[in-house]
Amino acid sequence: MLNLTHTSKYILLAEDNPADVQLVREALEDRAVACTLHVCSDGEIAVDFIERLDRDSTLDCPALLLLDLHLPKRNGEQILQSLRASERCGQTPVVIMTSSDSPRDFERATRHAALHYFRKPSVLEEYLNLGDMVKEIVERQAAPPPIPAAP
């Protein structure tokens, strides 16, 4: 079970490959993303996690979901459906991470309002670009809304 804090910003990572989890950690650290990373190693754990957030209003929603489409027990599309159905966390930004080149995977992700699609590269330097993407999303969320111009 994941340990949730009530005060720190965190990113939820649904990823079953330990090597990819480590690469995500490195990308976030390299780009100085100021969030804790909580990892769900299969789709069932991720869906249970989202349901727990809906049941306990004292828990914060994640700043971002990093989602592998191909997970055991429940796939990424099912996790994304669960997140979008969440009353509390349904607007959480999502980055789909996959090694697939399938147009079907891209279509499945966008059907459920995933914001970004990150193709997992085979080169570390390219994987670090994920840190840039995440940092931009998290910082955009933290920025105050623009003040409307006076008429």
Chain Cα centroid distance, residue 75: 14
2-53 confidence digits (pLDDT tens): 444 444 689 999 999 999 999 999 999 999 998 899 999 999 999 999 999 9
Per-residue tokens: 79: 């996790």
CA–CA distance, 51 with 78 (Å, rounded to integer): 13
65-85 confidence digits (pLDDT tens): 999 988 999 998 899 999 999
Q: Tell me the CATH number for domain 10-142.
A: 3.40.50.2300
Read off the amino acid at residue 74.
R
Verdict on whether the full-model pTM lies above 0.75: yes
27, 121 contact by CB (below 8 A): no
103, 70 contact by CB (below 8 A): no
Per-residue tokens: 81: 């459906």
